Structure 1
Amino acid sequence: MRKKLLLLTLLLLVGTGIFLFHDASSGISAYALSRRIPKVTALILTGFSIASASLIFQTVSENRILTPSVLGLDSLYVFIQTALLFFGGATLQEKSSGSGEFLFSVLLMGLFSVLLLRTVLKKVQGNLYRMLLVGIVLGTLLRSASSYLQAILDPNEFLILQGQLFASFNNINTRVLTLAAGLILLCLFIISRHVQELDVLSLGRDNAVNLGVAYPVLVQRMLLLSAVLIGVSTALVGPITFLGILVTNLARELLKTYRHRILLWGSMLISAAALVLGQFLVEQVFNFNTPISVMINFVGGLYFIFLLIRENRL
């Protein structure tokens, strides 16, 4: 198992090295690195964030084909961007494209998740599926509101919006990169303190309660951390829906373990390596004609269908 983790680490390091130093001759190496280092940092941070959020969310929900997107966070991000452009125009959105908008987006996603946890989970005494249902309904409502606003947007502003609704690593806002890194590392540190409880939680709610896990408290804490991680990655680069399903299930198939300390590292390494190598293909093979989110969602969507078919056969 350690050999597999070392191989995944080596894959990430090799992919990072290729991404940073390809075609970097001595004359342009300084400029090339100044552009590529922030980009590869954002790729790794996003990979770590999405993988860890998806893994703990699947453990809490006891379902391997769910991601935090079912809480409606992606739909909320789309609505925030659409409303900001609709009511403020392109000029206001450009002025607020720094840390202010980043914190505003993350704060709204966090508050949205807290409201779900406080108003739904508390009333139904930990009924997670009721919360998921409410999240899906609210996500559908936000998507409908976004579609309505987009339909009456100015065509030029709509084109600007479309470019923002696809995950992109081409123009990383370096002003928020440090802030995003701090939030992600803080969440990962808190998660690392609960990995043993997550191992027990994977046995199911009843077994976890019988073994002394404070189930409602742990579930709310993990869901909140998952929402913050997804909120940070989405506000940083945009929504990537199927990446979490893909990397967490690949980590489980590869590592063959229930221990979250190992699964967490494995899924984060796979996720970061996939993003780094995928972005390299986008730039060098597809010449920026295909966003990386489209590639990942295509592969992840196929894998999602495969998981559904396999579950039905079992």
Structure 2
Amino acid sequence: MSESRPTAAPPSGTARDGGEAGPRAASGRTRPVSRGIPAAVRLALAGGIAAVAVVCFLFLFIEGSFEFAFERRLTMLGTMAVVAFAQAVGTVVFQTITHNRILTPSIMGFDSVYILMQTLLVAVFGGSVLAATDGLPKLVTQTLLMAGFTMLLFGWLFSGRKGSIHVLLLVGVVLGLAFRSLSDFLQRLLSPAEYDVLSARLFGRLSSAEAGYLPIAGIVCLIVGIVVWQRRYRLDTLLLGRDAATNLGIAHKRELSLMLLLISLLIAMSTALAGPMTFFGFVTAMLAYQMSGTHRHVVVLPMAFLIGLITLAGGQFIMEHVFYASGMLTVVIEFLGGAIFLVHLLRKGTL
């Protein structure tokens, strides 16, 4: 059901037109009003670049059987679309409800849960269990377990009267370190062969996703996308803070809990499908805000998805046909993403 845009005076530091700037940042400074290219033109430009990247990735430099190569690339493209949507949308919504442009669900220890689950499987049942249990039941089970964990953690922290961003950050980092330490200890007990099998699952992998996983992943992304899009104006209102949003008629706690559930499903699906990608969501969200020139989610959400798709499809095309290193895309993204995160943190000077 569609909803009407909340009628309220814009927060300090914003304007009413399409080039409005976002609310005050955590540092207290206000973004200048954007008077450049209209948002619709920016989205159209990003969509055109994404279309070019997709066409190049699908059809150029095919050697051998066209049918085999096209089917493989189409499966990879579907995985890229799911990962780009889940990471980009999940990160933008998470930063909205936490009022922080640096935090992401992955940084909060989400990937550590996936690593621990995979390590426990190998440590208890042996290295062959990873391949033997591959399939939709395992994907659904991993997604539900990871979503349940994050809902339990984030819901508990946000629902308490003393809950805050700093508590969330501290608990997430501590639990992430604890899970990683336990995973490292268990990995040291594995045989070299079992460790090699496990290591292949602990890096982001776009080329090894099964085509059978994509329908359920696509359905989850579609449902979550519809719910988030229907609440795009409520997300704008949540940027004003708890008190202002409540005064404008938003059930703050209910919206927060719903957004946390949707974020958990998105990031869990992405991680279970393609492996951990810690900084990809941060980079796409940061670029989306820069390219959009506004804080409005009606522009930022599709822009984030398009930038994520451009990064993955264009990056994979370049890595395959320019540097001949098709399996290194996620490694490069994580390395550059980590460097950008540190530079952004140092420039901002605060969480």
What TM-score bracket applies, with the shorter chain setting the length?
A: over 0.9
Distance 2:230 2:192 in 1: 49
Distance 2:151 2:207 in 1: 32
Distance 2:82 2:251 in 1: 30
* Match status 1:149 vs 2:149: no
SS of residue matched to 1:10 = helix
SS of residue matched to 1:212 = coil
**What TM-score does the superposition give when structure 1 sets the normalisation length?**
0.94
**What TM-score does the superposition give when structure 2 sets the normalisation length?**
0.85
Deviation, 1:312, is 2.4
- The one-character-per-residue Cα deviations of 1:61-85 (angstroms, maximum 9, x if unpaired) are 1110110013321000011111111
Contact in 2 for aligned 1:168/1:291 (Cα 8 Å): no
Matching residue within 270, 278, 301 for 2:315: 278
- The one-character-per-residue Cα deviations of 1:195-231 (angstroms, maximum 9, x if unpaired) are 1011011122232222222111111111121111000
- Give the superposed CA RMSD: 1.7
* C-alpha distance 117-242 of structure 1, shift in aligned 2 (>3 A): closer
Matching residue within 303, 306, 310 for 2:340: 303
Distance 1:137 1:99 in 2: 31
Structure 2 residue ranges without an equivalent (≥5): 1-38
Structure 1 residue ranges without an equivalent (≥5): none
Distance 1:119 1:49 in 2: 23
Deviation, 1:255, is 1.3
Deviation, 1:289, is 6.4
Distance 1:91 1:23 in 2: 35
Matching residue within 127, 131, 135 for 1:98: 135
Q: Which residue of 2 aligns with 1:21?
A: 59
Identity %: 35
Q: Which residue of 2 aligns with 1:161?
A: 198
Q: Which moved more, 1:109-118 or 1:128-137?
A: 128-137
* Match status 1:249 vs 2:279: no
Residue identity matched to 2:57: F
Contact in 2 for aligned 1:126/1:216 (Cα 8 Å): no
Distance 1:151 1:188 in 2: 41
- The one-character-per-residue Cα deviations of 1:99-154 (angstroms, maximum 9, x if unpaired) are 12111110111110222144433343654443333222221111111111111111
From the two aligned structures, give the one with the greater helix fraction: 1
Matching residue within 201, 205, 229 for 2:266: 229
* Match status 1:185 vs 2:222: yes
The structure with the largest alpha-carbon Rg is 2
Distance 1:293 1:81 in 2: 19
Contact in 1 for aligned 2:46/2:307 (Cα 8 Å): yes
Equivalence map 1:215-226=2 (5 Å): 215-226=252-263
* Match status 1:53 vs 2:80: no
SS of residue matched to 1:50 = helix
* Match status 1:259 vs 2:296: yes
Q: Which moved more, 1:83-92 or 1:257-266?
A: 83-92
Q: Which moved more, 1:209-218 or 1:13-22?
A: 209-218
Distance 2:347 2:155 in 1: 35
Deviation, 1:44, is 1.3
